C-alpha cells in the first residue's frame, strides 16, 4: 500500500472508533443517574472510613454540572467501546503481518478488550483506598472541598492507567508477531522489566501505600510472564517452520541421479 492509502485507512478506522464512542456517550447522558451512582461509589466508601476529617464534594461554576455530565458519559463510552477501538488498532497493523500470523486477529480481539475491562475493574476496586489515604492528609479543623471536576479527572486517570497497564502484555505479543521483539530479548531483560513495572505502579497508582502499588504491579508481572512464554513459543514455532523450508549449504540435495532422460539413464556415458 502507498503511504496515502495507509493514511486513508487510518482515517477510516479513527472515524469508526470516534463514531462508536460518540454514540455510546450520547446514550450515557440518558443514564447519568446510574453512572453518577457508580462514580460516587469509591468516594462514599472512602468517606465512611475517614476519622475526624471534614470532606465535601462540590460543583463550581455555572457550567460545572454540564461538564460533569459530559465527562462522565465520555468516560463510560471510552470504557464500554474499548473492545472496538482496540480491534481497530490491531486491524490497522494487521496488513503488515504474514497470512499465517493473521489468525491471531480473533485472539487479540477476544483478549485485549476483556483485559482492559479487567484493569478498569481493578482500578475501580482500589480507588476507594486511594481516596481515603490521600484525604486523610487533611489537617484537623480544615474542611477539604473536593471539586467535582478534579475528582472526575482523578477517577478517569486511575481507571485508564489500570486498563492500559493490562494491555501492555498484549502489545508485547503483537510486537513479537511483527518480528520486532523476541522472547529471548524479553528473558534477557526480565529483571529490569520487573523493576520498571514496580516503579510504574508506584507512580501510576493514586495512593501512596504499597498495597495499591502491589494491586497493579503483581497482575502486570504475571501477565508479562505469560506474554514471555507466548513469545518464546512463537519464536520456536517460527524457527521450526524456517528449518522446514531452508536447506543447509552442506546438505545433499534430493536429486535422483538415475533419472531417465528420453528413455536413457542420466548416468549412461553415451547420453549427452
Quickly state the pLDDT bin for 12 (edges 50, 70, 90): confident
In a domain, 250, yes or no: no
In a domain, 266, yes or no: no
pLDDT one-digit tens code per residue, 210-268: 776 777 788 888 888 888 888 888 888 877 877 766 545 555 545 544 444 455 544 45
pLDDT one-digit tens code per residue, 223-234: 888 888 888 888
201 or 97: which carries more pLDDT confidence? Answer: 201
**List of long-range contacts for 194-203, beta carbons under 8 Å, 24+ apart:** 194/221, 194/224, 197/221, 197/224, 200/165, 201/165
Q: What is the CA radius of gyration of the chain?
A: 28
Range 59-70 average pLDDT: 86
Range 174-183 average pLDDT: 76
Supply the pLDDT for residue 260. 47
In a domain, 261, yes or no: no
Domain range spanning residue 41? 3-238
Supply the pTM of this predicted model.
Answer: 0.67
86 or 80: which carries more pLDDT confidence? Answer: 80
In a domain, 72, yes or no: yes
Backbone angles phi, psi at 264, to 5 degrees: -120, 150
In a domain, 259, yes or no: no
Q: Which residue has the cell 531483560?
A: 189
* Residues 143 and 57: beta-carbon distance below 8 Å: no
Q: Provide the domain count of the chain.
A: 1
188: left (phi > 0), else alpha (psi -120 to 50), else beta?
alpha
In a domain, 248, yes or no: no
In a domain, 32, yes or no: yes
In a domain, 265, yes or no: no
Amino acid at each position: 500500500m502507498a503511504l496515502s492509502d495507509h493514511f486513508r485507512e487510518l482515517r477510516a478506522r479513527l472515524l469508526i472508533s470516534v463514531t462508536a464512542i460518540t454514540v455510546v456517550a450520547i446514550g450515557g447522558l440518558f443514564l447519568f443517574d446510574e453512572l453518577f451512582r457508580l462514580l460516587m461509589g469509591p468516594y462514599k466508601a472512602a468517606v465512611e472510613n475517614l476519622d475526624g476529617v471534614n470532606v465535601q464534594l462540590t460543583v463550581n461554576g455555572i457550567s460545572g454540572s454540564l461538564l460533569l455530565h459530559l465527562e462522565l458519559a465520555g468516560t463510560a463510552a471510552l470504557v464500554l467501546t474499548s473492545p472496538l477501538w482496540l480491534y481497530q488498532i490491531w486491524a490497522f497493523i494487521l496488513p503488515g503481518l504474514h497470512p499465517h500470523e493473521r489468525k491471531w486477529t480473533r485472539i487479540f480481539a477476544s483478549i485485549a478488550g476483556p483485559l482492559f475491562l479487567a484493569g478498569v475493574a481493578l482500578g475501580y476496586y482500589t480507588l476507594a483506598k486511594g481516596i481515603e489515604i490521600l484525604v486523610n492528609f487533611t489537617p484537623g479543623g480544615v474542611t477539604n472541598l473536593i471539586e467535582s471536576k478534579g475528582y472526575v479527572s482523578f477517577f478517569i486517570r486511575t481507571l485508564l492507567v489500570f486498563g492500559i497497564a493490562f494491555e501492555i502484555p498484549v502489545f508485547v505479543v503483537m510486537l513479537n508477531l511483527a518480528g520486532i521483539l523476541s522472547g529471548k530479548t524479553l528473558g534477557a531483560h526480565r529483571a529490569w522489566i520487573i523493576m520498571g513495572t514496580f516503579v510504574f505502579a508506584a507512580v501510576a497508582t493514586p495512593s501512596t501505600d504499597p498495597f495499591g502499588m502491589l494491586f497493579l504491579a503483581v497482575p502486570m508481572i504475571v501477565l508479562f510472564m505469560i506474554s514471555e512464554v507466548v513469545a518464546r513459543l512463537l519464536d520456536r514455532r517460527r524457527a521450526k517452520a524456517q528449518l522446514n523450508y531452508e536447506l543447509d549449504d552442506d546438505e545433499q540435495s534430493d536429486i535422483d541421479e538415475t533419472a531417465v532422460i528420453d528413455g536413457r539413464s542420466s548416468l549412461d556415458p553415451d547420453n549427452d
